[in-house]
Amino acid sequence: MGSALASDRAVYLPGTVRVAAKILVVGHFAVGKTTFVGSLSEIRPLRTEETMTQAGALVDDLRGTEDKTTTTVAMDFGRLTLSESLVLYLFGAPGQRRFTRLWRDMTHGALGALVLADTRRLEQSFPVMAVLEEHGLPYAVAVNHFQGAPRFAESEVREALDLLPETPLVTCDARDRTSSTQALIALVQHLQSRQARISQEQA
Ligand SMILES: Nc1nc2c(ncn2[C@@H]2O[C@H](COP(=O)(O)OP(=O)(O)OP(=O)(O)O)[C@@H](O)[C@H]2O)c(=O)[nH]1
Ligand SMILES: [Mg+2]
């Protein structure tokens, strides 16, 4: 692993790539999903941003992200070549709960998900994690740290989100490519060790 950090954002996939995996980037409204996919993608990310209007003001919680003017209405799409042989296709979900049906559809064919969370509203992560659990999709959690957001000990965040001991929990800055890559690597390592465990049990 590691070539993704050093390489330029290449348009074409290297011929050495053998495995392509669909990874979801999910989380509640305005947690930084579009920013995360945009920081990581080596191709120009596909975005489906629309301007937010007064109509959404009563339902969309903009606390802490008052500068935000657009929201994802379908999905974000990006690509990250993580090693010579592995490429990740990143699908960023829309954030509002009215898109729950789309979240379900997006789980099809996905290998795993990265749940972005914000310590100012951890409880808003539950509906997202519930959909993943309902579909048996393994996930890791990355706290996207916003300025002024409270910092809690890892054990406190784990307890608040009711995470299983094996679920990875990391902190990231979705605007930073290196930090976002580390979060994704935590998920990929989790998926690999989970797969190894399943194969061992089946042997
Ligand atoms: N301080 C800080 N701001 C961030 C970070 N990540 C995203 N932002 C800002 O937070 C706002 C929300 O980011 P988005 O990437 O649009 O969030 P989203 O989860 O895609 O939002 P929806 O698609 O509307 O649910 C934007 O104004 C970003 O610039 C971060 O790590 N730190
Ligand atoms: Mg978005």
32 lines ligand 1 (CB under 6 A): yes
Identify the pLDDT of residue 199. 92
Alpha-carbon distance 94 to 127, whole Å? 13
pTM: 0.93
Flag whether 164 is in a domain.
yes
Res. 154: pLDDT tops 90: yes
Instruction: Give the range of the structural domain holding residue 53, as residue numbers without chain letter.
Output: 19-202
Flag whether 4 is in a domain.
no
Flag whether 98 is in a domain.
yes
Our mutation pick for probing the ligand 1 site, out of 28, 34, 76, counting the most ligand atoms within 8 A of Cβ, is: 34
More confident residue, 61 or 148: 148
Asked if residue 21 lies in contact with residue 89, where contact means CB atoms within 8 angstroms, the answer is yes
181 lines ligand 1 (CB under 6 A): no
Flag whether 155 is in a domain.
yes
94 lines ligand 1 (CB under 6 A): yes
Q: Name the closest-CA residue to atom 8, ligand 1.
A: 32
Our mutation pick for probing the ligand 1 site, out of 28, 65, 70, counting the most ligand atoms within 8 A of Cβ, is: 65
Which residues have CB atoms below 5 A from the ion given as ligand 2? Answer: 33-34, 72
Identify the pLDDT of residue 8. 53
**Number of domain units in the chain:** 1
Which pLDDT band, with edges at 50, 70 and 90, does 59 fall under? confident
Flag whether 10 is in a domain.
no
More confident residue, 5 or 23: 23
Q: Name the closest-CA residue to atom 3, ligand 1.
A: 146
Nearest CA to 25 among 110, 126, 147, 149?
110
Flag whether 174 is in a domain.
yes
103 lines ligand 1 (CB under 6 A): no
Flag whether 11 is in a domain.
no
Which ligand approaches the C-alpha of residue 70 most closely?
A: 1
Identify the pLDDT of residue 2. 44
Flag whether 65 is in a domain.
yes
66 lines ligand 1 (CB under 6 A): no
- CATH classification at residue 172: 3.40.50.300
Mean pLDDT over 101-124 rounds to 96
* DSSP letters for 137-196: --EEEEEEPPTTPPP--HHHHHHHHT--TTS-EEEE-TT-HHHHHHHHHHHHHHHHHHHH
